[in-house]
Chains A and B, each alone.
Chain A
Amino acid sequence: MSEYTKPLPKPSPTSRPFWEAARRHELMLQRCGACGQFVYYPRDRCPYCFADDLNWERASGLGKVYSYTVVYRASSRHFMDPYVLAIVELDEGPKMTTNIVADPKQVHVDMPVTVYFDDVTPDRTLVKFKPAQSTY
């Protein structure tokens, strides 16, 4: 296996449960006990009502491509090959920056997607998505 050279997330005390869940191939989101909103990325307080009552819940892993781009020439030397960068709107509400693991020609706005856990290193898993009808 070749060495992984792209940037890796460094979990904070706030976000550690999210990355630990991803490692177990589970998509966990915070949900506010006061206003009921799901929250992404992890926060210390609800960004909507500012209550101090965020709890972790397992998400469906389903969503839609809100928008995307195929990056042919990246601003970073770590991303040399074209890739699909996307904003996925989860069924639970929050939007996530992610990658779509698919042939770029297949990707379109509003496309239904399902979560895909990419174990990029032995101890770090990125939360990506693939087309809902996919054999990847």
Chain B
Amino acid sequence: MSIKGKAAAIGVGELKPLKEPGDHTALGLMAEVTAEAIADAGLDKKDIDGFLVGVPFSDPGFIYPASAAEVLGLHLKMLNQVDIGGASPAGMIWRAAAAIDAGMCNAVLCLVADLNRGGDQRPPTVSVMREFEAPYGNIGANCGYAMIAHRHMFEYGTKPEHMAKVAVDQRANALKNPLATFNDKPLTISDVLNSRMIVDPLHLFEIVSPVSGGAAVIVASPEIAKRAKHPPIWLLGAGEYCNHSSITYAPSLTESPIKIAADSAFKMAGLKPADMQLVCPYDCYTITVIVTLEDAGFCKKGQGGAFVAEHDLTYKGDFPCNTHGGQLSFGQPGLAGGMSHVTEMIRQLMGGGGERQVKNAALGYVNGNGGIMSEQVGLVMERRS
């Protein structure tokens, strides 16, 4: 028993991220991307009977899903919030499919939007994080990923140039993505390595920029998928795993929970990494992509640095990866940053990649990552011929 092929993504809505939040509200952005996704799917709002939502940092609240649903005018047979950090959007996709397969609902709106007003807007962490992390300055995500990078360099000889290559190739992809925040000029490896050192060894251009925005995806039953406007993109496999919150207490800094999440997803799909024609790994930092490609099985452990250096990660390359530019060039509009990997996969597999369309892309792998390499979600998606 599995959810293999039991539901499909049929519609996408996504905003070009805003550098300044202006007069927008998170709920307003949610309404905008919801309308776009419903139109993209060719559905009516009345068809939506399931709702998974991420709570925005800029306007959080208790019993959030019902409040947002009321604003949007949704009447629902299933609703919930998903709180697994940056992995929330990828986590919504399989939860939606599972709810559909269980017969609880037929068309699920997966929705994330947020405003960035500067500063650290994240809600206070739980007591143990405040007690044993914050006093030493382990605050925010940068530090943890920098420590992952240093350990990876120590164990495997990964070089700053390897990490920089991820940002460079993803920027080349972003130049063809009108929605990307940073799509006006290419980057070079020396641009990246000469950008300001923020948390040694990570430079400014290896770190996501917070912006404002939103994204929505509609996941539907086979019956509804039949009347969708675009070819349905089927969920063939999904896996999830988490074994720590603070990176200090992870079993390893360099072997992440991605391994189990990705293995589960490929096993359910009955496929292997080499079968994928496109990969969209969550990229909060350059090192995240390197560790993900290793742990998801696209290269051997420890060889991720050499792998990204030797392969062309652009849409026309031999290993298309984050063809939207990744969050590094798209921007990170709160949790919607993590939806950008999902929306890009769906668009590409539907054939809507525009100038950056990957030729003959029918199978792809998405990785969602939350916290400091903690919550992991793997998705294998397919366009059926």
What is the interface of chain A, defined by CB distance below 8 A to chain B?
6-12, 15, 41, 66-76, 78-79, 83, 85-87, 95-99, 104, 109-110, 126, 128
User: What would 28 A/B residue contacts be, using CB atoms closer than 8 Å?
Assistant: A10-B127, A10-B130, A10-B131, A41-B128, A41-B131, A67-B148, A67-B154, A69-B147, A69-B150, A69-B199, A71-B142, A71-B143, A71-B146, A71-B200, A72-B200, A75-B142, A76-B134, A79-B137, A79-B139, A83-B137, A85-B143, A85-B147, A87-B253, A97-B136, A97-B138, A109-B154, A126-B135, A126-B136
Give which listed residue, B130, B135, B154, contacts A6 with CB less than 8 A. B135
Query: Which of B215-223, B243-251, B296-304, B339-347 lies at the interface with chain A?
Result: B243-251
Q: Which A residues are CB-close (under 8 A) to B135?
A: 6-9, 126
State in angstroms the CA–CA spacing of A98 and B230 once bound together.
52
A12 pairs with B136, CB closer than 8 A: no
Residues of B in contact (CB 8 Å), total 36
Q: Which A residues are CB-close (under 8 A) to B248?
A: 87, 95-97
Question: In the complex, which residue of chain B has the Cβ closest to the Cβ of A9?
Answer: B131
17 new A-B contacts at CB < 8 Å, known A69-B147, A76-B140: A6-B135, A7-B139, A9-B131, A10-B127, A10-B130, A12-B127, A68-B150, A70-B200, A71-B200, A72-B196, A73-B196, A73-B198, A75-B120, A76-B120, A97-B132, A109-B153, A126-B135
B150 pairs with A67, CB closer than 8 A: yes
A75 pairs with B247, CB closer than 8 A: no
Q: Which A residues are CB-close (under 8 A) to B198?
A: 72-73
Assess whether B197 is interfacial by the CB under 8 Å rule: yes
Q: Which A residues are CB-close (under 8 A) to B150?
A: 67-69, 109
What is the interface of chain B, defined by CB distance below 8 A to chain A?
120, 127-128, 130-143, 146-148, 150-151, 153-154, 196-202, 246-249, 253
A6/B137 contact (C-beta < 8 A), A11-B131, A70-B199, A95-B248 known: yes
Q: Which A residues are CB-close (under 8 A) to B130?
A: 7, 9-10
B147 pairs with A68, CB closer than 8 A: yes
B131 pairs with A75, CB closer than 8 A: no
CB B257 to nearest CB in A, in angstroms, measures: 16
Q: Which B residues are CB-close (under 8 A) to A104?
A: 200
CB A53 to nearest CB in B, in angstroms, measures: 21
5 pairs of A and B residues whose beta carbons are closest in the complex: A75-B140, A69-B146, A67-B151, A109-B154, A67-B147
CB A16 to nearest CB in B, in angstroms, measures: 11
CB B349 to nearest CB in A, in angstroms, measures: 36
CB B143 to nearest CB in A, in angstroms, measures: 5
B136 pairs with A87, CB closer than 8 A: no
A99 pairs with B137, CB closer than 8 A: yes
A69 pairs with B143, CB closer than 8 A: yes
Q: Which B residues are CB-close (under 8 A) to A11?
A: 131
CB B263 to nearest CB in A, in angstroms, measures: 24
State in angstroms the CA–CA spacing of A85 and B146 once bound together.
10
State in angstroms the CA–CA spacing of A15 and B128 once bound together.
10
State in angstroms the CA–CA spacing of A6 and B247 once bound together.
21
CB B199 to nearest CB in A, in angstroms, measures: 5
